[in-house]
């Protein structure tokens, strides 16, 4: 945890839903650490403005696999 709080360890979080990402960013602000990436973030488009404000990226895949 010291590495996280000192900014030496980058946080990459697994979230699917937009409100989960918003909550995780609120927690990060409260405890003064940085989330860098949300993985599998298929609802990132719903909170794109919040992600942009916090300089956080989303790593995801195509949900329908070509269907």
Q: Which tens digits make up the pLDDT trace of 42-64?
A: 999 999 999 999 999 999 877 66
Write the CB contacts of 39 (distance below 8 Å, at least 6 apart in sequence): 12, 13, 14, 15, 58, 59, 60
**pLDDT top residue among 55 and 1:** 55
DSSP assignment, residue 34? -
Which of 2, 1, 12, 9 lies closest to 56 in space, CA to CA?
A: 12
The residue ranges of every structural domain in the chain are 2-59
Could you tell me if 36 and 10 are in contact, meaning their C-beta atoms sit under 8 angstroms apart?
yes
Model pTM greater than 0.85? no
- Find where tokens 């195509």 sit: 62
């Amino acid at each position: 945890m010291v590495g996280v709080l000192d900014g030496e360890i980058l946080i990459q979080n697994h979230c699917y839903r937009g409100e989960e990402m918003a909550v995780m960013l609120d927690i990060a602000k409260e405890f003064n650490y940085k989330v860098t990436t949300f993985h599998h973030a298929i609802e990132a488009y719903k909170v794109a403005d919040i992600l942009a404000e916090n300089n956080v990226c989303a790593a995801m895949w195509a949900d329908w696999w070509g269907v």
